[in-house]
Amino acid sequence: MAVNWTALTIFIALFVFITFLGFFAGRWRRGDLSQLHEWGLGGRRFGTVVSWFLIGGDLYTAYTFIAVPALLFGAGAVGFFAVPYTVMIYPLLYLVFPRLWSVSRKHGYVTSADFVRGRFGNRWLALVVSLTGIVATMPYIALQLVGMQVVIGAMGVETSGFLGDLPLIIAFVVLAAFTYSSGLRAPAMIAVVKDTLIYIVVFAIIVAVPLHLGGFGPVFAAIPKAKLLLAPPPGGSMGSFAAYGSLALGSACALFLYPHSITGILASSSGRVVRRNAALLPAYSLLLGLLALVGFMAVAIGVASMPEMAEGFKRYSNNFSVPALIIAMFPSWFVGVAFAAIAIGALVPAAIMSIATANTYTRNIYKEFLNPGCTDAQESQMAKIVSLVIKAGALVFIFFVPLQYALWLQLLGGVWMIQTVPSVILGLYTRFFNGWALVLGWVSGFGVGTWLVIQNNFAPVYPFSVFGTTVPCYIALATLLLNLVVTTVLSLVLNAVASDKHRDATVASDYV
């Protein structure tokens, strides 16, 4: 592929601009960055608008914007499960997470494991929650790099060999530097620019492509019948319907438990800001839903059979479908803007994810187990350093480990993350569960879930058999049920013989 100089120039210019913004952000609503809640939560001061950009920019990552359309492009209707998934997350956000915000504000919790530590008085349970968050997030950060790699490659920049890795390394060094110096304020400020660009780009595509093709009719007419809808279930099976629904519900349950989501929520200035955003953030879902359809537009335009796109598809497979459509349809300068939006869209979540994992490592592992006497300044310093280590780890991962492993680990990450539903989400409502019962419930869900995913050759949906009916179900959701049963039964037993209810550091009025 020849280098597209116009696109590349605009891309670099936008990148330089957000770099300055990232460093400048440290001075914005200035706080004492040697305090963990200032560096790692922006001082819990973000109002409705900034939180909207921050949480939106955090949840709807560059990888989402590449992978969801790519799934529709390749697999068809089933890829659309991202839409019911994002429909279901916001009622959960409205109902559950203002409670977490309020108890966290009251007791100075920075992570969900902090809350679990206070609520159940069991530091091993908190360790389990913290480690789950860290291992589930690491491959997610690595996948953000994939989105970046695809757009850099699509502009004709060589992406193999050491020179090819250089643009990614530079981008990540820049990211690491401004995250280190500005903390959560940097991605919050950059998110405003990034999402404005993303909204412009998506609406341009959504308008321009159907205009070019003569409406949405030809877009859907180009899709093979078998991919346009879910396959109707055969007799004796709940088939693709159960698979589709359980994927959406299971993903929705896990989403807000990821450390980066919790960080975005806790950085809000009040529980009401969280509630308001539950009604306002769906604007991003609409964007994602429309973008998903771009996968079909790429089919209709026929990008896969264009000779100039062959190399891109060979290298990046279906992840190349959106970039290919953008190149095929738009002038070079717009390609530069669009690709910059995607690349910056990778930086924002990557920054928040590294801050969030650094927060939980520092609070729940370093301070809890390794250096209990550390000062606030030492704590904040440790978090800054860990955020660097995590980003370096993600880079190493993407350069030396096959992409397939990152995808597998991300799938497993979802199965693992959902196992913290009883401790974190249910823990916000009831103290019925016993700390050790929660640990063992987590162990059962984690163990069986991991085993099933491997047995299933890393496909997320397993065909369970229930009373002679085949119920294909997302493994995460099924193993959450197992976890709940184990936790409940053991809690009944342990509450009778060795209740730990007196260890609750919170009171009912903390949850408003």
Partner 1 sequence: MDNDDDHKPVRPVLWARALLVLPFVAMLWVSSYNKVEPMVAGVPFFYWYQLLWILIAAGLIGIVYRVER
Identity at 449, one-letter amino acid code: G
Angle (nearest 5°) at CA 248 between 201 and 299: 45
Contact flag: residue 166 with partner 1 (CB under 8 A) = no
When the beta carbons of 153 and 250 are compared against partner 1, the nearer one is 250
Tokens representing residue 240 in the block: 């693709």
Please give the size of the binding site for partner 1, defined by CB under 8 A: 51
When the beta carbons of 113 and 299 are compared against partner 1, the nearer one is 299
Q: Looking only at residues 85 through 124 of this chain, which bind partner 1 when binding is defined by CB under 8 A? A: 86-88, 90-91, 94-95, 98
When the beta carbons of 230 and 304 are compared against partner 1, the nearer one is 230
Contact flag: residue 218 with partner 1 (CB under 8 A) = yes
Contact flag: residue 256 with partner 1 (CB under 8 A) = no
Q: Within the chain, how many helices (H) and strands (E) appear?
A: 23, 2
Contact flag: residue 364 with partner 1 (CB under 8 A) = no
Contact flag: residue 209 with partner 1 (CB under 8 A) = no
Could you say which of 63, 80, 366, 436 contacts partner 1 (CB under 8 A)? 80
Residue with tokens 């030809």: 218
Q: Which residue in 199, 203, 204, 152 sits closest to 329, CA to CA?
A: 204
When the beta carbons of 146 and 205 are compared against partner 1, the nearer one is 205
Residue with tokens 């206070």: 118
Give Cα separations from 295 to 74, 148, 205, 324, 395 (angstroms).
8, 18, 11, 11, 28
Chain center to CA of 161: 29
Contact flag: residue 215 with partner 1 (CB under 8 A) = yes
Tokens representing residue 200 in the block: 């412009």
Q: Annotate 220-231 with b (16+ C-beta within 10 A) or e (fewer).
A: eeebeeebeebe
When the beta carbons of 269 and 410 are compared against partner 1, the nearer one is 269
Q: Which residue in 299, 304, 326, 317 sits closest to 228, CA to CA?
A: 299
Could you say which of 61, 112, 179, 285 contacts partner 1 (CB under 8 A)? 285
Contact 90, 292 (CB under 8 A): no
Contact flag: residue 131 with partner 1 (CB under 8 A) = no
Contact flag: residue 279 with partner 1 (CB under 8 A) = yes
Contact flag: residue 83 with partner 1 (CB under 8 A) = yes
Binding residues vs partner 1 (CB under 8 A): 47-49, 77, 80, 83-84, 86-88, 90-91, 94-95, 98, 215-221, 228-230, 232, 240-242, 244-245, 248-249, 269-273, 275-276, 278-280, 282-283, 285-286, 289-290, 293, 512
